[in-house]
Amino acid sequence: QLGNLVNIYELDLSQNHLSGAVPSSFTNLTNLCVPAVNACHSYGLNLGYNWLTVPAAPEDLAAFLTLKDPDWHLTQAISIELGGTGDQLISRQGDVELLFPSGSAPIGTTMTYIPLASPSYAIISGLAYGDLTFALEASVAKVISYSFSEPVTITLTYSEDTINPRLDDLGRIYYIPEDTLNLYFWDEMQEIWIDATQTCTEPLSIIRNSDTNTISLEVCKTGEFTLLGEKQQTLIFLPMIRR
d(CA 72, CA 164): 26
Q: Is the pTM of this model over 0.85?
A: yes
Give me the pLDDT at residue 194, please.
Answer: 95
d(CA 134, CA 119): 8
d(CA 55, CA 52): 9
CA-nearest of 218, 227, 84 to 154 is 218
Summarize pLDDT for 50-76 with one digit per residue, the tens.
Answer: 999 988 766 889 999 999 999 999 999
pLDDT band at residue 237 under the 50/70/90 scheme: low
